[in-house]
Amino acid sequence: MSKAPRRPEGVPAKAWWDDGDKEWVFGPMVDGQKHGDFTYWRADGTKCNESHCVMGTPVGPFKRFHENGEISQDGEFDENGQLHGTRRWFSIDEPTTENTRPSGVHESIYKSEMDYVHGKVVAIRHFNRDGERVLPRDGAPYPQRPEGVDEGAEYVEPKDEWSFGSADGETQQKQGPWKRWTRDGVLKESVTYVDDVLDGPAEQHAIDMGGYFADARVVMERGSFREDQRVGAWELCDADGEVVAQVDYGDVSQLESGPLAAYSNDSSVDYAELAEQLEKERRYVEALVTWARVAGITRDPSRFEALLARVARPLSEEAAAQHADNSDRPNNWIAYDLIEGATPAVMVNKIAIALDQAFQSRAALDFTNAAMLLDPSNGAFLFTRALILMSLGLGEQARLDTEALEAHDAGQAQFIRTYRNAIFFTYDFEAGREPPETTFEDVPQAPTRSLEDVQQLVQKYATRLQRVREELLKKLTPANPAVPPDLSQLLPEGPAELEADEFERDDGETVTYDENPEVKGVDVPSLLRLARGDWKALCWLCWACGLNELTIPDAVNPPETFGKAAGMAQQRLWRARDQRVFKGRNAKQHGVPSFTWEGEDISTMAQPNANIAEQEFAEMQALFLWLCDDAVKTPWQDNLRGS
């Protein structure tokens, strides 16, 4: 604790020095708590504060003072020590240590007022030296309240508008009727809030929104909100208040009760019958979604378009497109923006994207087909459908969409082409077909593993691939070329035992491993990526024994290029990971050569595709580390895929 300064003249002898606040304090103490009237002085002896405390809590009026004795601030605390009523700040021209102008408040302001309700600010006012109310940012005169703006309305400078309404004193949440006007007094909206959420009657005016509605006469909408969403019937009116169009959101209460029925992968449902029923129940959002599903199935969008024309907001083409671009709602609510007036084809395609990402790809296909019916010229829908087709394991159909996409967007077509080639690869023996290359010099020349070790590992890879095959056959037909071939010939005594455990290395590091592939409930693309990694590794394992086909080796006769293959695995893993994480910046900086993978140079590859290459070469690296280091227990250790 620092030494108290010399007591200035005028400070009572019984005052004590508060080293934390750097002030002299005088007042009664009860049980170690401030209790009564208190006065505070600065170190130089000038009075800075007068207040009252009740057992340590400030209660009642207070005043602060500038060094010249003038009041710098006053206000009042309630019985709980919360500011209540009007708090005022007063500036002076003389030097002062009092902070009376917060950051951002113009220097011309000499008095500020804040109205509090039990600790919460409910209003703010600023005045110049002449007592005229002004704006805080530049000191300009506070605008005169225009005719038609309710008495008590406040001008909100950042929004350049007038606002009037009530808020809860404790939470500051808007409650009840609220209005907003332009600076000139033109009503912008009259709405109702419950706990800061729009809920109740509303009237909204299209101020400065020329061209927003398809019918230029529309300048006002009126209807009701519930929990921040428009519900029920709304009227679109002209300047005279006459109705020129009607919108109907219907009943949206079921949108929170679980996935919509139309989102199901079940293709046996009579979705037309379901749509009819939903429409009768005025559940128009759900009905529109379901009619869109019907359109994708039947290739007839007429019922969807008829309901849309009857219930949706008629926005201009530009406004509808902007609304669709900005739409970002949970899956059940995406279709709500159809009634809001967003571009129908774009919104239906957004539903398709969301469903595909949620593994509802069969339903997603119907929705993207519907989107293409609504707008056949939109090439972006080909991109969406190609991805969905691949999620369904339909690689050939995805190839056709990729070719069509080329005319619309060559970049997107290249992405899809590489992605398709990566997950719909051919189950050929390609190991060593391309001569291994690496710039690494310190590489192993031969495996250290015994023939028995290698034979056991061949069977573990085969067992893993058989599990992937079994899972894929639950989703795809046996004739689908994406399904791995039957490798039971490599398992004459049945599946190999796959282990999961952990062990401690000599250096104390704990290593975990799990040889069991995660296949249950996994989507098709992820299963195919898993199959790719294991298939490629199995082929390289057989190649390392001198073979050019998948079979159980009877000897370990590594090719002369074994070391180059081991180095290539590590180098390509590093290069693919650098492309995914840093877009190849480190490779360019250090001159690491590129390579071609699935028809595309790794240096131009999009990060998601580089990730598939990374996964392949991580498995290849893990295999070669196992082949060349007897201390490695299994290729599926968690410490073998770094770079």
> What are the residues whose beta carbons fall under 8 Å from the beta carbon of 296, sequence distance 6 or more?
365, 366, 367, 368, 369, 370, 373
CA distance 231 to 538: 59
Closest CA to 369 of 359, 355, 358: 355
Closest CA to 463 of 493, 428, 496, 489: 496
Instruction: Provide the 3-class DSSP secondary structure of residue 441.
Output: coil
Please identify every stretch of the chain with a pLDDT value under 50, giving residue numbers as ranges: none
Ordered by start, the domain boundaries in the chain are: 154-248, 263-376, 379-423, 451-628
Instruction: Provide the 3-class DSSP secondary structure of residue 355.
Output: helix
Tokens 């007839």, located at residue: 300
Instruction: Provide the 3-class DSSP secondary structure of residue 105.
Output: coil
Helices 344-357, 284-298: inter-axial angle, 10-degree rounding: 80
For the CA atoms of 532, 441, 582, 614, what is the dihedral angle to 10 degrees? 10
* 131 DSSP assignment: S
Query: What is the residue-wise DSSP string for 166-232?
Result: EE-TTT--EEEEEEEEETT--EEEEEEEETTEE-EEEEEE-TT-TTSBSSTT--EEEEEEETTEEEE
- pTM for this model (two decimals): 0.80
Instruction: Give Cα 637 to chain centroid, integer Å.
Output: 33
**141-173 tens-digit pLDDT:** 999 999 999 998 999 888 999 999 988 766 778
**pLDDT score for 285:** 95
Q: What radius of gyration do the chain's Cα atoms show?
A: 37
Domain 154-248 fold is 2.20.110
Residue 448 · residue 436 · CB < 8 Å:
no
**305-317 tens-digit pLDDT:** 999 999 999 999 9
Instruction: Provide the 3-class DSSP secondary structure of residue 246.
Output: strand
Handedness of CA 393, 397, 403, 407 (dihedral sign): negative
* 4 DSSP assignment: P
CA distance 4 to 124: 39
CA distance 251 to 523: 34
Closest CA to 284 of 331, 253, 248: 248
**pLDDT score for 104:** 84
Tokens 């406004």, located at residue: 319
**557-567 tens-digit pLDDT:** 999 999 999 99
Say how many C-beta atoms besides its own lie within 10 A of residue 621's C-beta: 25
**pLDDT score for 1:** 54
Distances (CA, A) of 489 to 125, 410, 466, 551: 86, 43, 11, 8
25 forms bridges with which residues in the sheet?
16, 40
**pLDDT score for 330:** 84
Instruction: Provide the 3-class DSSP secondary structure of residue 563.
Output: helix
**pLDDT score for 169:** 65
Instruction: Provide the 3-class DSSP secondary structure of residue 353.
Output: helix
Closest CA to 154 of 146, 165, 162, 143: 162
For the CA atoms of 197, 200, 201, 202, what is the dihedral angle to 10 degrees? 10
Distances (CA, A) of 320 to 207, 256, 346: 17, 25, 10
Instruction: Provide the 3-class DSSP secondary structure of residue 161.
Output: strand
CA distance 572 to 587: 11
**pLDDT score for 2:** 66
Q: Which two tokens stand for residue 455?
A: 């034979």
